[in-house]
Amino acid sequence: MPKTQGSYSTAGAGLSKPALFVGALGVVFGDIGTSPLYTLRQCIASIGTSDETAVFHVLSLIVWALVVVVTVKYVLVIMRADNRGEGGILALTALALRAVPRAGKQRQVVVGLGLLGAALFYGDGVITPAISVLSAVEGLRVATPAFEPYVLPVALVLLVLLFTMQSRGTARVGRLFGPIMLLWFSTLALLGIVQIVRHPGVLLALNPAYAIDMAVRFPGMTFVLLGAVVLAVTGAEALYTDMGHFGPAPIRGAWLWLVFPALVLNYFGQGALLLETPAAIEHPFYRLAPEWALFPMVILASAATIIASQAVISGAFSLTRQAVQLGYLPRLEVRHTSAEEIGQIYVPRVDKLLAVAVVCVVLGFQSSDNLGAAYGIAVTGTMLIDTVLALVYMRGVLRWGWVRIGVLFGLFALVDTAFFSANLLKFVEGGWFPLVMAAAVWTIMATWRWGRDVLLDRRARDALPLRDFIAGLKPDRPPRVAGTAVFMTGNVTVVPGALLHNLKHNKVLHERVVIMNVRTEDIPRVAEGDRLEIEDLGQNFFVIIVRYGFMDQPNIPRALAQCRLKQLHFNLMETSFFVGREKILAARRRGLPRWRKQLFVLMSNNMLDATEFFRIPPNRVVELGGQVEI
């Protein structure tokens, strides 16, 4: 394991605190910030009454869900589990793996949970943009039923524009969206305050006794209601996943000083409105606004819900890069959209796939009410997995005491399990969709991991030990030609297949031969001083191990340039890179089902070329083909 000094995240470097605060509003809090559009309406609909007792019970459950799940669990506890400044399910998985043995069932369980949590996050990434934008545009129907036919087309246009903007980069999107979200949260608070002033008694629902009273008196109804209350906390995982974009401090500050107060004020304002006008349950959020402000509110809400999708989209980009670097997905094109911020990335293929999936969901479910049934399972499943992995890390690595672990994580597990179980009731009504999508993503990631392990084992079993090969070389056989040959390989203890192919066909070795291995560590970034490990094997053979973090972008020419610091100099114009291009076939032998083998073959044949991924100059690359069966 390399040293980690100097490996901390550079998220937010060079930006002022106000700029980070506003940028975080535009990227991180969109999802949870637009929950007032539909949460209270869904809660009241799930219990079938909007009398005073019901309103007080619902408001109490909502505010204490925000306190326990978002404020205590994520903002104050889980964000402490930062992997050198990076967050998210895979970063947390890497941390949890440090607390378990390197082999055995415990490690398999942790990896399996991490992959499942990542898969569920992608499911959330499809539903969040759809329900958020639809719920905002549906405000047109509140103004006049004449707009009914235009709700779906307008929502689809807005969503397509959002995904088109992603190539501009998270930083630019954040600077554009941040001021809008600042206006949005200010408006939420103002609308809520106006209504609360008229009915200040609604603030009594801040007392958790109302939530406890409902759970004791009406346990069955409370259980069903939790399936809607969870809509208030969707987006909490995005706070953690997007931590690497801005750092934990701006996210904590924005939540505690603006977002949380604004949300609570708006929810209680809606509750006060329902106490006065029960008929406002049709759309209590829009009924908070005076009639003259209805159309401006629809426009502002539409902008805010477009931004809401940004949290999960940028989170999906971060998660994808981590998955590629950790070996759970094939190589994909990752574009860096900022020269200053290393965390600002754009993944074209993921952007396109999410866009297509979101459009299909909107066309399939048609309304935010229908999507409300599908929403929640993916979110609560990921939250529950976060709790388990954070428990493993904080007990096994940070050595938290059993009292603190028992109190905090006992509470988190109880709440997460209750939310997840309640959302399973919505399986038939639409909850099946995120689970089916998560199952598909999990299958892809698990298949890729399995296929890579099989290939590595097969290559190692059939390969010739490198030191034995070097020891058998003669001074004049085979002939040595001028220049340097770099052979990329996953195992530096055996002779790379590309080297054997080159020797077989060209009958020569280069004057200097480098066996290079690129390794991804379980930290976000590796310090430049810890990047390289060089070993001289004799006869002008060298092994170079290049280490990157799972948030680093590999750059082999730059790594070779750094070798001069260790007295090994390279002239790129005299260096050839030999890359093996294997054709993988699905064999009819025992193991995984043939369809999973074919899936792995399909992913292998369509992954990003190694030359482009490692930033090797194309005119210095020699590709040597082969064939292998799995």
- Over residues 565-577, the pLDDT tens digits come to 878 888 888 888 8
Question: What pLDDT score does 191 carry?
Answer: 93
Nearest to 34 by CA among 133, 153, 172, 151: 133
Positions of E strands within 132-221: none
Quick check: 341 and 460 in contact, CB under 8 A?
A: no
The pLDDT-based confidence of 606 (bands split at 50, 70, 90) is confident
CA distance 614 to 612: 6
In DSSP terms, 547 is beta-bridged to 519
CB atoms inside a 10 Å sphere around CB 1:
9
**Full-model pTM:** 0.76
Burial classification of residue 588, based on how many CB atoms lie within 10 Å of its CB (0-12 exposed, 13-18 middle, 19 or more buried): exposed
List C-alpha distances in Å: 277 to 3, 36, 55, 475. Answer: 63, 18, 12, 94
The pLDDT-based confidence of 8 (bands split at 50, 70, 90) is very low
Question: What pLDDT score does 628 carry?
Answer: 64
The pLDDT-based confidence of 401 (bands split at 50, 70, 90) is confident
The pLDDT-based confidence of 93 (bands split at 50, 70, 90) is confident
What percent of the chain has pLDDT above 90?
Answer: 14
CA distance 598 to 591: 13
Determine the angle formed by the axes of helices 170-198 and 260-276, rounding to 10 degrees: 40
Quick check: 167 and 346 in contact, CB under 8 A?
A: yes
586 or 548: whose pLDDT is higher?
548
Question: What pLDDT score does 153 carry?
Answer: 86
Give the 3-state secondary structure of residue 86. Answer: strand
Positions of E strands within 296-444: 335-336, 345-346
pLDDT at 417 over 90: yes
DSSP label of 549: -
**Contact residues for 145 (Cβ-Cβ < 8 A; gap 6+):** none
Nearest-5° Cα angle at 379, 117 to 408: 80
Distance from the Cα of residue 572 to its chain's centroid: 37
CA distance 196 to 434: 37
H or E stretch covering 519: strand 509-520
